[in-house]
Amino acid sequence: MTEATGTAPRKRLLIRTWGCQMNVYDSARMADVLAPLGYAPTEAAEEADMVILNTCHIREKATEKVFSDLGRLREAKQAKGGDMVIAVAGCVAQAEGAEITARAPWVDIVLGPQSYHRLPEMVARASRAAGAVIETEFPPEDKFDHLPETTAPQGVTAFLTVQEGCDKFCSFCVVPYTRGSEYSRPAEAVIAEAKRLVALGAREITLLGQNVNAWHGEGPDGRAWTLGRLLRRLAEIPGLARLRYTTSHPRDMDDDLIAAHGDTPAIMPFLHLPVQSGSDRILKMMNRGHTADDYRRLVDRLRAARPDLALSTDIIAGHPGESDADHEATMALIRDTGFAQAFSFKYSARPGTPAATMAGQAAEEVKDSRLAEIQALLRDQQAEFNRSRGGMVVEVLVTGPGRHPGQMAGRTPWLQPVHFDGLANLAGRIVPVKILAGHPNSLSGAMAAPVNTEPRERPAA
Give the pLDDT mean for 65-89: 88
CB neighbourhood size of 254 (10 A)? 15
Name the strand (E) or helix (H) holding 31.
helix 21-34
Tell me: cis bond preceding 357? Omega within 30 of 0 counts: no
Give the pLDDT mean for 364-376: 97
3-state secondary structure 170-185: CCCCCHHHHCCCCEEC
State yes or no: pLDDT of 131 exceeds 70.
no
Instruction: Return the sign of the alpha-carbon dihedral for residues 177, 368, 387, 338.
Output: negative
Cα Rg, the chain, nearest whole Å:
23
Give the pLDDT mean for 372-398: 96
Are 266 and 245 in contact by the 8 Å Cβ rule? The answer is no
Q: What is the pLDDT of residue 380?
A: 97
State yes or no: pLDDT of 7 exceeds 60.
no
> Residue 81's Cα: distance from chain center in Å?
36
pLDDT digits (tens, 9 = 90+) for 229-245: 999 999 999 999 999 99
Band (pLDDT 50/70/90 cuts) for residue 323 is: very high
Long-range pairs, 231-234, Cβ under 8 A, ≥24? 231/207, 231/257, 231/260, 231/264, 231/266, 231/267, 232/260, 232/263, 232/264, 233/187, 233/191, 234/190, 234/191, 234/194, 234/205, 234/207, 234/266
As a whole number of angstroms, the distance between CA 229 and CA 222 comes to 14
As a whole number of angstroms, the distance between CA 362 and CA 319 comes to 7
The CATH number of the domain covering residues in 393-447: 2.40.50.140
List residues forming the annotated binding site for [4Fe-4S] cluster.
20, 56, 91, 166, 170, 173
> Residue 290's Cα: distance from chain center in Å?
24
State yes or no: pLDDT of 458 exceeds 60.
no
Question: β-strand 163-164 against 85-90: which pairing, if any?
Answer: unpaired
As a whole number of angstroms, the distance between CA 160 and CA 435 comes to 30
By C-alpha distance, which of 192, 220, 221 is closest to 205? 192
Band (pLDDT 50/70/90 cuts) for residue 187 is: very high
DSSP letters for 324-391: HHHHHHHHHHHHHH--SEEEEEE----TTSGGGG-S-PPPHHHHHHHHHHHHHHHHHHHHHHHHHTTT
Q: What is the pLDDT of residue 363?
A: 96
The CATH number of the domain covering residues in 143-388: 3.80.30.20
Band (pLDDT 50/70/90 cuts) for residue 460 is: very low
Domain positions in the chain are 11-135, 143-388, 393-447
DSSP letters for 213-264: GG--PBPTTSSBPPHHHHHHHHTTSTT--EEEEE---GGG--HHHHHHHHH-
Q: What are phi and psi of 394, to 5 degrees?
A: -125, 155
Coil vs helix vs strand at 86? strand
As a whole number of angstroms, the distance between CA 59 and CA 349 comes to 8
Q: What is the pLDDT of residue 424?
A: 65
As a whole number of angstroms, the distance between CA 163 and CA 209 comes to 4
Q: Which residues of 306-345 are buried (b: 16+ CB within 10 A; e: fewer)?
A: beebbbbbebbbbbbbbeeebbebbeebbeebebbbbebb
CB contact set of 341 (below 8 Å; sequence gap of 6+):
272, 310, 312, 382, 415
What CATH superfamily is the domain 11-135? Methylthiotransferase, N-terminal domain (3.40.50.12160)
Quick one: how many helices (H) and strands (E) in the chain? 12, 19
Q: Which residues of 84-116 are buried (b: 16+ CB within 10 A; e: fewer)?
A: bbbbbbbbbbbbbbeebbeebebbbbbbbbbbb
Q: What are phi and psi of 183, to 5 degrees?
A: -140, 135
Are 235 and 267 in contact by the 8 Å Cβ rule? The answer is yes
As a whole number of angstroms, the distance between CA 119 and CA 321 comes to 43
> Residue 196's Cα: distance from chain center in Å?
20
Name the strand (E) or helix (H) holding 51.
strand 50-55
Band (pLDDT 50/70/90 cuts) for residue 5 is: very low
pTM for the whole thing? 0.78
Give the CA distances from residue 160 to residues 52, 151, 241, in Å, rounded to whole numbers and listed in that order. Answer: 21, 11, 15
Q: What is the pLDDT of residue 130?
A: 59
- Intra-chain end-to-end CA distance of the chain, in Å: 44
State yes or no: pLDDT of 429 exceeds 90.
yes
Q: Find the farthest-apart pair of alpha carbons in the chain and give their distance in angstroms, rounded.
A: 73
By C-alpha distance, which of 139, 89, 133 is closest to 111? 89
As a whole number of angstroms, the distance between CA 95 and CA 192 comes to 32
List residues forming the annotated binding site.
20, 56, 91, 166, 170, 173
